């Protein structure tokens, strides 16, 4: 991927799918559809709640959280009061669950947030919180199926353990054969140029702590297992 693609400022690497409706990197589509077919056979309606997300969409999310229009949580998922946070605390809180614009793995089209549409009762509002994927959560069966099967199709969870900088996201899958290469190409200077090029709330504080944020929230992810790196089973086997 080139620098604009890596930072969500171009979508020349993206394919728009009609069914299921989502946008993904062209190198991810076959494996994602194969995994979806396997899930369907197991009685799971695997749907992408979010796939590719461009810079502007990430910027909108960031600014809304900065202004307190969307809730802020700490790493444990506890609700925070934005009025009691200084700028540094606000950046930290946002980064626990949302990336800096230009720094989201969703920009690559390799990462997707998944739910099981068949498991939701009528009128259910998806929250994308760990409790939904816990043993008694609405997506518990999906979480278990993914743990056993996603590696066969090249996917892994980059935010699966407390050792990651961000909060634990059992819904967030990454297609390792493409995302591993993207991560190598996504350097701190690439991120800095993307942030410097646009206006965003808290920009001065973001730039001030950018090296730390890059290390903690972009590099500190769970690595894929061997099967996911190789994309074994991406043909549907």
pLDDT at 235 (0 to 100): 37
- Token pair of 236 as six digits: 């549907």
For the question of whether the overall pTM of this predicted structure is more than 0.95, the answer is no
pLDDT tens, per residue, the chain with 237 residues: 999 999 999 999 999 998 888 999 999 999 999 999 999 999 999 999 999 999 999 999 999 999 989 988 877 778 888 888 899 989 988 998 889 999 999 999 999 999 999 999 999 999 998 999 999 999 999 999 999 999 999 999 999 987 667 788 999 999 999 999 999 999 999 999 999 999 999 999 999 999 999 999 899 899 887 545 555 444 333
The H-assigned helical ranges of the chain are 3-6, 29-41, 55-66, 87-97, 140-149, 176-185, 188-196, 203-208, 210-213, 226-230
Query: Cα-flanking dihedrals φ and ψ of residue 106, to 5°?
Result: -65, -20
Q: What is the per-residue pLDDT for 234?
A: 43
Query: Which pLDDT belongs to residue 76?
Result: 74
Domains of the chain, with CATH numbers?
3-55+98-230 (3.30.1380.10)
Q: What angle do CA 37, 50, 110 make, to 5 degrees?
A: 70
pLDDT of amino acid 228: 59
């Amino acid at each position: 991927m080139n620098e604009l693609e890596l930072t969500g400022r171009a979508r020349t690497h993206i394919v728009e799918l009609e069914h299921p409706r989502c946008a993904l990197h062209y190198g991810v589509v076959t494996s994602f559809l194969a995994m979806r077919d396997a899930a369907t056979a197991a009685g799971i309606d695997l749907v992408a709640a979010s796939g590719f997300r461009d810079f502007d969409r990430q910027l909108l999310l960031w600014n809304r959280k900065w202004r307190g229009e969307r809730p802020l949580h700490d790493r444990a998922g506890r609700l925070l009061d934005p009025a009691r946070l200084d700028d540094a605390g606000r950046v930290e809180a946002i980064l626990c669950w949302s990336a800096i614009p230009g720094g989201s793995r969703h920009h690559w089209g390799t990462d997707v947030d998944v739910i099981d549409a068949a498991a939701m009762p009528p009128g259910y509002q998806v929250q994308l919180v760990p409790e939904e994927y816990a043993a008694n959560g609405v997506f518990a069966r999906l979480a278990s199926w993914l743990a056993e099967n996603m590696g066969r199709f090249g996917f892994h969870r980059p935010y699966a353990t407390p050792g990651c900088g961000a909060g634990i996201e059992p819904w967030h899958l990454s297609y390792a054969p493409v995302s591993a290469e993207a991560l190598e190409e996504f350097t701190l200077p690439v991120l800095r140029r993307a942030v410097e090029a646009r206006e965003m709330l808290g920009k001065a504080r973001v730039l001030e702590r950018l090296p730390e944020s890059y290390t903690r929230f972009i590099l500190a992810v769970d690595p894929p297992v061997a099967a996911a790196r190789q994309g074994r089973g991406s043909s549907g086997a």
